Every structure is written in structure tokens, then in C-alpha cells.
Chains A and B, each alone.
Chain A
Amino acid sequence: MLGLASIMLVLVASVVIGVWGVRAARSTPDFLVASRSIVPGWNALAIAGEYVSAASVLGLAGLLVKNGVGAMWYAVGFTAGYVLVAALVAGPMRRSGAYTVPDFAEYRLGSPRIRRMCGLVVLVIMLLYLLPQFKAAGVVLELVSGIPYWIGVIGAGLVVSSTIAVGGMRSATYVQAFHYLVKLAFIAGPAIVLIALAGSDRREAALAAHGPDPDWARPLLDLDGSGHSVLATVSVLTATTLGAMGLPHVVMRFHTVAGARAARRVAVSVIVLLSLFYLFPIVYGLLGRIAVPNPAETDVVPVLVPGAIAPGTVGAVLTALVAAGAFAAFLSTSSGLLLALAGGLSHDLFGGSLSKLRMGVVVGTALAVVLSLPAADVDINVLVGWAFAVAASTFCPLLTLGIWWRGLTATGATAGLLVGAASSTGAALASVILDLPPGTWSILLAQPALWTVPLAFATMAAASRPGSVPDWAGEAVLRLHVPGRYSTGDTGPIRTGPNRLDGSGPLR
């Protein structure tokens, strides 16, 4: 019951902050990008808060117990993606002045059709990403309070969609920044206490790198003992690093800062915040290996560890804190994802008003809830891995080529998006249906990014015929990279406010 109480507390605090942060979301820019007036520090906290999802809070530690130490390569890839975001995407995307990836595609390629296509890809990525979040909410609620999985999932959907539908991005920013702090405090705090409580024997055992299972202790990621751990690690790293660059809800975040420079710096701050957080799943994973070696549900390992190490009241309190941290992860990630999903549904697919956007949130939640009911048995990181693989095979090439190469045409982008989306989702589906024996092929299907990303890049480049590059393409690309009055992205908040932190604009 303590667990449920702490979750309720996080929930109430989130709603209060959300309401405080609303200040009447009136127009679409208000709702989607908070009218460009979010201060960079808050924005970095919000990006990290949104990004540190159930996959990081719960999934990583569970995977570490189940598959081995190499699971932490997921965390490395999740973070490494932000190096590419800072280097390739953040600044130019902000200068483009577009709200979402589909907006950007339409600006850069001048084709409304490609916008709708991007809207569809956004839907696929966001749904793949939302499922494990709802799954996490369901299993954690079930564990700490005995509420049946499906009731927990539906309840979580109601809570998230109602807070988002009322507040939009501005409220989401503050709520998500709050959630990063909750996650860090409620995951890090108990972790440190648990290290102290575990005793020297268990600490020694947790750190025994030369245990009875050498495959587990090897710091490479292997999928179901396929024997090709280097290949599997490289493929996961490719998906996570390049996928982070193409995640629509992350890219959307960079539109909410004042300028291109601020956007880049936000990406760097996010790396700091992520590095800090990713120290703690290691603690739960290594202690979990000793305390809960064979959990029935790997994704709840962090919630089980405190009770196994410290029985009694201390354990119960720590369990409640971790459960609240996990629930904060669910809340923040799913609200960010739902916003992007609603944007995709209404803004890009149905050219929408604010009421349609709110409708989009409700529809998106309903879809995710319904789909996550049968997904109870799939590992969180498997689903999140697929979301990253699809993003890496679609939006990563689209953004990279669109921003840096003026030769990209609408035809090329369409072909590349189709090939990338079809091959990555197809491979993931095939790996579920075919259920191949562990080996090279099972890795290439379950973690397809290694071949689908180059394929998508090559298709986009090859299908962009030099003759059909429109004459304004050069200018459209230049505008993304040149600071000053030439580019609209450096113009600061839409409504003139005091938050103009970017000095690169013309108003000196």
C-alpha cells in the first residue's frame, strides 16, 4: 500500500505542476512547442525526464539480470545518440522553424505528401515506444498494489491523457523536468542505501566478474546466447545511437528553446543528465543478480531488489520510492510520446486545430492501451529497441540527408522512408513470427538496424535524381546553417518575452 501511496503522491504533484504550468494553452504553437519560451535548463531536464523511460528505469536492470552485464550497451547507445543530435540535428532543426519532423520534411522537400508519410512513421515509432511504457505502468501497479494488469494500464492511460489534453507541451515541460528529478532521487537514493544495506558479502558477490557464468559476466550484449555477441552489440548500438537522433518527440523538444545555439547546448546538457542517471541501473542489476536471480518478470527487478535486500519497513519504504520513480518514468515518457503522437495524428495527418490535437491525445492513448494489453509478456527493452530501430531507419536518414545534402528530393526521401520503415518493422515482425534459432540471422532480424539503416540511406541517395532537385533546395539547406536574420529559427520566442537567451540572432 505504501507503494501505491507514493505513486499517488507523484501523480498528484504532477497534476499540480501541470495545472500551474498550463497558463492557458490557447493556440497550436502554445500547445505543441510552448510558444518557444522554455528556458534551456528546464528544457534539458525535460528532455532527460522524457527520455529516461521505463526502458532505462526498469528494463535495463532487468536485462542486466537476465542477459548479462552487456545490457548496459543500451545505455551507452541511448546517450551516444545525443552526440549526433548536437552535431547533426539540433541547431539546423531549430533554425528550420518547423514544429515536428513532418513539418520539417514538408519545408525542406516542398511536398505535402511527404508530410503525411512522415506522420504515419511518427505513429509507428510512437506506438512501439508507448506500448512498453504502459506495460511498465501495468506491471509496477500490479506488483505494489495487486491491481490487475489491465486495470492498471487503463488507469494509467486515463491519467496521462487527461493531464496532456488539458495542458499540452508547456505543462509537459515542467512536469517532465520534475519527473527527471523524481526519477534521479527515487532511483539513486534507494540505490545508495541498498549498497550500504547489502553487506560486504553480497557486495563482493555482486561484483564477482569471474562468476560461474562467463557469458553473463562478459561486457558484451548477446541476444539469447546466439554466440555472436560483437555483432549483437554493434547492431544494438547502431539502433540506439542513430535512433535517438530520429525520435520525433525528442526532435520536437528542440523547437521549444529560443534559438539554434541554445538547442545545441541543450543536447550537451542532456548527455550530462543521462550519464548521471545511467550509473544507477547498474546497481539494481548487479544487486538483483544476487538478490533476485530468477525473477518471474524481469522488468520489475528494480522494484523487487529493495524488498529482497532489506526486509521489513526499510525495504517497504525503499520499494515504494523505486515504484514511484518507475511510475514517474512512465508518466513523463508517455506524456511526451502522446504529444508527438497527437501531433502526428492531427497536425500532420488531418491538418488540425487545437480540438483535433486534444482528440489526437485521446485516440493515441486508447490505441496504446489496447495494444499494450496483449504485450504483457514482451520485454520492455525489446519493444523500445524496435522503436529505435524504426526511427534509425527512417527519420535518421531523412534528417541527416535533408539537413546536410541539398540533393535530397521528395521522391528520394519517400522511397527511403518506405524502404526503411518496411524493412525495419518487417524484420522485427519476422523475428517474432519465425522464431529462428539463435544465430547470425536471428540477430539481424531482431536487431535489424545494422542493415536497414544503410539500406535506407542508400535508397534515399540513389532515388534522389540530380535532375529533379528544385532550384530552391540550395537555399532551403543554407537557411538551416546560417545564423542571423537570414534564418527564421534564431528569432526567439513567438511572443516576445524575456527568455531570449540565444545571442546569435540579428537583434543586437
Chain B
Amino acid sequence: MQRVRVTSPQTRLAQRRGADAMGRLSHLAGRPPMPSTAIDLEAAERALRRQRRLAVRTALALLAALATLLTAAALVPGRLGWAVLFFAPYPVLLALAALHVRRAERVEDDHASEAHASEAPAADAATGRASDLRADPAPDGP
């Protein structure tokens, strides 16, 4: 006699969700998952690498800035040393952050225009499933 495990639909759903991490992002935002074939993976990869380089640069610049401020505050005597600690850090921090955001947005713009250019001849641009964008040769496309 064969035994069958009986589960409620909710349990089955939960179990499937556990295995389906790919769809989770879209699930969280209430959207269906996007097929990976719909984008130019190489371009996306380039964008990620540029963003990562930028992020590392900003983090290193912050480290250097804080180290300089600390040294200056420790070495400059009297009130001038106080002024270094009280007032100097904030403009520096603001400049670092603003510069980063500008550059990060430029990377995004570059990527968007690149994607736009390669997308233009697609017949069905409105749905985003341009058939000639299958840079990813995965067989499990839509």
C-alpha cells in the first residue's frame, strides 16, 4: 500500500517558496519574476564592476579623510585643533558622499543608454522581452 503525504496548499506554497529564492525578490515587491534572458548580462556585469570599483574608492577615500583629520586634530595645538575636530569633518564627508552619488548615477545612466541602444530594434519593447537580447544562452527562457 502506498503512503501519500498530505499537505495543505499553504504548506506546499511555503515549501516551494523555500526552494525558490530566485523569485523572492520579485515576490517581495509584488511582481512576477523576470526571466534572466530579458537583459544583457554582460552589460549588467560591467555596470556592477564599475559600481564596485567606485564603492571601494569612496570607502578608501573616507578612510584616508578620517585618518588625515585624526592626525591633524592630534598634531595641531590649541583652538585650531578644536576647530579641525568641530568643523572640518562635515564638509569633507558631504563632498565624498555627493561625489559618489554623482558618479554612481553616471554609471547607471551609461548602463541605461547602452541597454536602450541595444534594445531599440526589439519588436516588443513595451513588455521588456526583446527576443534579440538573449545574451544568456540558458535554455529555460520563456
Say yes or no for A314: interface residue by CB 8 A criterion: no
Digitize A267-278: 1 where CB-to-B-CB distance is under 8 Å, 0 elsewhere. Answer: 110011011001
Q: Chain B residues near A72: list those with CB within 8 A.
A: 85-86
Give Cα A470–Cα B22 distance, bound, in whole angstroms.
Answer: 10
| Residue of A87, A230, A494 contacting most chain B CB atoms (<10 Å) | A87
Residue of A nearest to B33 (CB): A488
Say yes or no for A73: interface residue by CB 8 A criterion: yes
Nearest CB of B to A291, in Å? 18
| Residue of B26, B28, B58 contacting most chain A CB atoms (<10 Å) | B28
B25 touches A483 (CB 8 A): no
Nearest CB of B to A271, in Å? 5
Name the interface size band of chain B: 35 or more
Say yes or no for A441: interface residue by CB 8 A criterion: no
Nearest CB of A to B6, in Å? 22
Q: Chain B residues near A481: list those with CB within 8 A.
A: 44, 47-48, 51
B108 touches A483 (CB 8 A): yes
A478 touches B97 (CB 8 A): no
The one of B39, B74, B94 in contact with A220, judged by C-beta atoms closer than 8 angstroms, is: B74
Given A209-B81, A237-B70, A478-B48, residue A485 in contact with residue B34 (CB < 8 A): yes
Chain A interface mostly? helix
The one of A88, A110, A241, A274 in contact with B21, judged by C-beta atoms closer than 8 angstroms, is: A110
B34 touches A472 (CB 8 A): no
Give Cα A475–Cα B22 distance, bound, in whole angstroms.
Answer: 8
Give A62-97 interface residues, CB cut-off 8 Å to B. Answer: 69-70, 72-73, 76, 79-80, 82-84, 86-88, 91, 96-97
Give Cα A271–Cα B94 distance, bound, in whole angstroms.
Answer: 6
Residue of B nearest to A260 (CB): B108
Q: Chain B residues near A271: list those with CB within 8 A.
A: 90, 93-94, 97
B28 touches A404 (CB 8 A): no
B112 touches A504 (CB 8 A): yes
Give Cα A237–Cα B22 distance, bound, in whole angstroms.
Answer: 38
Say yes or no for A42: interface residue by CB 8 A criterion: no
A96 touches B25 (CB 8 A): yes
Say yes or no for A381: interface residue by CB 8 A criterion: no
Nearest CB of B to A230, in Å? 7
Give Cα A76–Cα B84 distance, bound, in whole angstroms.
Answer: 11
Residue of B nearest to A85 (CB): B97
B36 touches A83 (CB 8 A): no
Q: Chain B residues near A83: list those with CB within 8 A.
A: 58, 62, 93, 96-97, 100
Q: Chain A residues near B128: list those with CB within 8 A.
A: 485, 506
Residue of A nearest to B136 (CB): A475
Given A470-B21, A484-B112, A488-B31, residue A82 in contact with residue B86 (CB < 8 A): no
Given A230-B74, A491-B31, A494-B30, residue A107 in contact with residue B21 (CB < 8 A): yes
Digitize B61-83: 1 where CB-to-A-CB distance is under 8 Å, 0 elsewhere. Answer: 01000100110011001110110
How many positions in chain A have a CB within 8 Å of any CB in the partner chain? Answer: 68
Give B85-142 interface residues, CB cut-off 8 Å to A. Answer: 85-87, 89-91, 93-94, 96-98, 100-101, 104-105, 108, 111-112, 115, 128
Say yes or no for B4: interface residue by CB 8 A criterion: no
Say yes or no for B18: interface residue by CB 8 A criterion: yes
B93 touches A275 (CB 8 A): yes
Q: Chain A residues near B89: list those with CB within 8 A.
A: 76, 79-80
The one of B25, B52, B93, B108 in contact with A488, judged by C-beta atoms closer than 8 angstroms, is: B25
Say yes or no for A316: interface residue by CB 8 A criterion: no
Q: Chain B residues near A494: list those with CB within 8 A.
A: 29-30
The one of B96, B100, B115 in contact with A484, judged by C-beta atoms closer than 8 angstroms, is: B115
A97 touches B25 (CB 8 A): yes
Residue of A nearest to B17 (CB): A112
| Residue of B86, B91, B93 contacting most chain A CB atoms (<10 Å) | B93
Q: Chain B residues near A234: list those with CB within 8 A.
A: 70
Nearest CB of B to A81, in Å? 9
Nearest CB of B to A352, in Å? 15
Nearest CB of A to B115, in Å? 6
| Residue of B26, B47, B89 contacting most chain A CB atoms (<10 Å) | B89
Given A209-B82, A219-B84, A271-B94, residue A84 in contact with residue B59 (CB < 8 A): yes
Residue of A nearest to B49 (CB): A481
B38 touches A486 (CB 8 A): yes
Given contacts A80-B62, A207-B79, A279-B87, 10 further A-B contacts (CB under 8 A): A76-B89, A83-B100, A110-B21, A209-B77, A217-B78, A219-B82, A230-B74, A237-B70, A268-B94, A271-B97
Give 28 CB contacts A-B under 8 Å: A70-B85, A72-B86, A79-B90, A83-B58, A83-B93, A83-B96, A83-B100, A87-B58, A96-B25, A217-B78, A237-B70, A268-B94, A271-B93, A272-B94, A275-B91, A404-B52, A472-B22, A477-B48, A478-B44, A481-B51, A482-B48, A483-B112, A485-B34, A486-B44, A488-B26, A489-B29, A494-B29, A504-B108
**8 nearest A-B residue pairs (beta carbon):** A110-B21, A275-B90, A97-B29, A488-B29, A87-B58, A219-B85, A219-B73, A209-B78
- A-side interface residues toward B, CB under 8 Å? 69-70, 72-73, 76, 79-80, 82-84, 86-88, 91, 96-99, 103, 106-107, 109-110, 112, 207, 209-210, 217-220, 230, 233-234, 237, 241, 261, 264-265, 267-268, 271-272, 274-275, 278-279, 282, 404, 470, 472, 475-479, 481-486, 488-489, 491, 494, 504, 506
